[in-house]
Amino acid sequence: MNTTTRNSNSELNRQRQRLETLVQPAQRPLGMGQALSALGDRLLSFFTDTQELRIWQSTRNGHQVWFAHDPVTNRTRSFHSEQDVRRWLDNRYYE
């Protein structure tokens, strides 16, 4: 291989690297806490990914709202109270 070929290959590699950084923006390195949190989220998802209902509570516009996600139907429903969730659960099993 002559010097011209080596230089042109080197220049091509530099251009390729510049183009790749334009296409794939550099990822900011995660802090230790963020990395551990992301790892924990992945582990939790791995060990709990089942076909069971998932129920959680959240606050929307100052009001408590309950949610239930059914992975079998891939539907999420919202409720105004815990009693509404319980009623829906009871009726769901009798349908």
DSSP SS3 for 24: coil
State which H helix or E strand residue 63 sits in: strand 63-70
- pLDDT string in tens for the chain (95-residue length): 555 555 567 788 788 777 776 665 555 666 888 888 888 877 777 777 667 888 999 888 888 999 998 887 888 999 999 999 999 989 887 76
